[in-house]
Amino acid sequence: MRIYAVMVVYNKHLSECPSFCSAKSQSDVQLLVVDNSTDESVQNQEEARQAGAWFLSMNGNKGLSKAYNAAFDMLREKPGDWIVLLDDDTEIPDEYWVKLRTESPDAILLPVVMTANGKMISPAEMKHDIPHLAQSTESITEITGINSGMAIPKRLADTYTYDERLFLDYVDHQFLKDMKRTGEKIRILSVKLYQEFSAEQTDLESALQRLRIQRRDLHAYYGNRSWKARYLVFKRKIRLAFQLKKPEVLWHG
- CATH assignment of the domain containing 114: 3.90.550.60
Give, for 115, the enclosing helix (H) or strand (E): strand 108-115
Indicate whether 188 and 247 sit together in one domain: no
How does 18-42 read in b/e, with b if 16+ C-beta sit within 10 Å? bbbebbbebeebbbbbbbbbeeeee
Is residue 77 located within the same domain as residue 135?
Answer: yes
CB 143 within 8 A of CB 174: no
Q: What is the pLDDT at residue 251?
A: 81
pLDDT score at 127: 97
Distance, in Å, from the CA atom of 89 to the CA atom of 195, rounded to the nearest integer, reads 6
List average pLDDT for each run of 10 residues in the chain, which is 253 residues long: 96 94 95 95 93 97 98 96 96 97 97 94 97 96 97 97 98 98 98 76 80 96 96 93 86 73
Which pLDDT does position 243 carry in this prediction?
86
* pTM given for the model: 0.94
Domain count, the chain: 2
Same domain, residue pair 163 and 221: no
Q: Do the Cβ atoms of 174 and 94 come closer than 8 Å?
A: no
Q: Which residues pair with 54 in a beta bridge?
A: 32
Give the pLDDT score at 25.
95
Do 57 and 134 lie in a common domain?
yes
Condensed to tens digits (0 to 9), the pLDDT of residues 140-197 reads 999 999 999 999 999 999 999 999 999 999 999 999 999 999 999 999 999 999 997 5
Q: Which of 150, 165, 195 is at the close of a domain?
A: 195
pLDDT value, residue 162: 98
**What pLDDT, on a 0 to 100 scale, did the predictor assign at position 253?**
64
Residues 232, 160, single domain; the answer is no
> Based on the domain organization, do 107 and 62 belong to the same domain?
yes
Q: Are residues 246 and 162 in the same domain?
A: no
Whether residue 51 is found in the same domain as residue 108: yes
Residue after which a domain boundary falls, among 176, 195, 214: 195
Q: What is the span of the domain harbouring residue 142? A: 3-195
**Whether residue 154 is found in the same domain as residue 73:** yes
Q: Are residues 219 and 127 in the same domain?
A: no
Q: What is the pLDDT at residue 199?
A: 47
